[in-house]
Chains A and B, each alone.
Chain A
Amino acid sequence: MLDLLNRRFLFVGGKGGVGKTTIAAALASMGAEQGKSCLIVSTDPAHSLGDIFSRPIGSREMPLAANLVGLEIDPETETNRFIDAVKRNMRRLVRPELYREIDRQMELARDAPGAAEAALLERVAELMAEGLDRYDLVVFDTAPTGHTLRLLSLPEVMAAWSDGMLAHHERSRHFASLLAKLGARKPNGDELASIDHEPERRSGDSASQIRALLLARRRKFHRARRLLLDDTLSAFLLVLIPERLPILESRKALRMLRRFDIPVAAMVINRLLPRDVEGEFFNRRREQEAEYLREIEHTFAAIRRYRIPLLERDIHDFASVCRISRLLADELRRSSGLP
Chain B
Amino acid sequence: MTHKKRQHASPAGGFRRAVQQLETAAEEYYRAPYRGAIARAKRDEDDLFMLFVFAEMLGIPNPAAYFTLELQPLLLERFHDWHRRMGMEHSPLDHFRCC
A residues lining the B interface (CB < 8 Å): 82-83, 85-86, 89-90, 92-94, 98, 101-102, 104-106, 109, 112, 114-115, 118-119, 157-158, 161-162, 164-165, 168-169, 171-172, 175-176, 178-179, 182-183, 185, 187-189, 192, 194-195, 197-199, 202-203, 206, 209-210, 213-214, 217
Contact = CB atoms under 8 A, between A and B. Distances in A.
A82 B66 contact: yes
Interface residues of B, number: 42
B57 A105 contact: yes
A283 B26 CA distance: 97
A94 B49 CA distance: 21
Contacts, number: 129
For the residues of B in contact with A, the DSSP-based class is helix
A93 B78 CA distance: 12
Interface of B: 28, 31-36, 38-43, 45-46, 48-49, 52, 56-57, 63-67, 69-78, 81, 85, 93-97
Given A104-B94, A106-B95, A158-B64, 10 more contacts: A85-B70, A105-B57, A118-B66, A169-B49, A178-B38, A182-B34, A185-B32, A188-B33, A194-B43, A195-B42
Contacts of A92: 73
* 5 interchain residue pairs of minimum CB distance: A175-B42, A118-B66, A101-B95, A187-B36, A89-B73
B77 A114 contact: no
For the residues of A in contact with B, the DSSP-based class is helix
B43 to A, nearest CB: 6
Given A83-B69, A115-B65, A194 B32 contact: no
